[in-house]
Structure 1
Amino acid sequence: MDRIAVWSILVYALAVALGGVFGYIKAKSNMSLITGLVSGAALLVAWFFATTKPETGLAIAIVIGAVLVVVFITRLIRTRKFMPAGIMMSLSFLATAVFVWGWLALA
């Protein structure tokens, strides 16, 4: 399970970065672009750590994922639109659950 969780970090990093790019393309949101790329890069760092020390990489990914869940929940509450905040909130929650599951499997 921990290998699946480690590779899920990479998939989630790409989804977050692409989400930021699409947010910029669709709504011309510089904030979406910046936060998407920064979050994606931070998740890539977590993935890099996870390839050699899974406990550390997954812990970093859990923190980033949890922060993004909160960010997207607040955005969903503020806008009351499921797209894109609800989708990203759901994806972030699912990814964070996978990271936690993988991290617990290592213990």
Structure 2
Amino acid sequence: MNENLKKNHNVIITIVKKGKAKKICDIAKKAGAEGGTTILGKGTSVKEFKKIFGLTLDDDREVVLTVVNDKIEDEVFDAIVEKGELNKPGNGIVFVMDLKKIDGIVHLLKGVEG
């Protein structure tokens, strides 16, 4: 394992309605992130279920995983919240998790060709 990758990186996890992940990735990149990975998921909001009981609910969600150096974590997180309007109800959630170990992102190290 590359010693430079053992620490100082976190993952910003953003969960949004299907079709919104590209916008979140674009926002993160403009704020300094290298990119992100999108995973399709299903939401299980009881509030939404009760609101439209008996009807088919589009509960598809997209989960965006964005690995960032902790030096730019706040900038990327704040941009996602503000420009993704995640501070408004129903637009999604975003949170950060510390990464204990990471490898395979050598391209994120400045001056390293990948």
**TM-score band (shorter)?**
0.3 to 0.5
Find the structure with the greater CA-based Rg. Answer: 2
TM-score, normalised on structure 2?
0.31
Q: Comparing both structures, which one devotes a greater share of its residues to strand?
A: 2
Structure with the bigger RCO (C-alpha within 8 Å, sep 6+) is 2
Q: Comparing both structures, which one devotes a greater share of its residues to helix?
A: 1
TM-score, normalised on structure 1?
0.32
